[in-house]
Amino acid sequence: MDALKLISDASLKENVPVIEIGDTVKVHVKIQEGEKSRIQVFEGTVIAKKHGGISETFTVRRVAHGCGIERVFPLHSPVVDKVELVRHGKVRRAKLYYLRDRVGKAAKLKEKLV
């Protein structure tokens, strides 16, 4: 087990931002289209974080054209180029799945003043 832990610690990314539940983030994702690659930005609210260490993932939710879209991103994946923090949200839950049932202003989170 110690050898596996050493390998996973060595492959962790540097400069990983501290992402909390309720934060609004911009995730820059590398998209491979044939031989070309480009960066696509996915902006939304972090509604869940799972696991830890090398297998840590976070779920980002946004509403586009009235349809809710959720994507799960591995935090240490080479596909995720960078994660920008837009604002902190004030929350009291570990998972924000209740936002799925809300529409419009009811789905907004108050900003946490640091």
Taking the domain 2-103, which CATH number applies? 2.30.30.790
Mean pLDDT value across residues 38-53: 95
Domain boundaries, the chain: 2-103
Nearest to 23 by CA among 101, 79, 73, 89: 89
Q: How confident is the model at residue 6 (pLDDT cuts 50, 70, 90)?
A: confident
Mean pLDDT value across residues 81-85: 94
pTM: 0.89
Lowest mean pLDDT among 6-15, 39-48, 67-76: 6-15
Query: ∠ at Cα 46 (59, 54), nearest 5°?
Result: 50
Q: How confident is the model at residue 81 (pLDDT cuts 50, 70, 90)?
A: very high
Nearest 5°: phi and psi at 99?
-70, -20
Q: How confident is the model at residue 53 (pLDDT cuts 50, 70, 90)?
A: confident
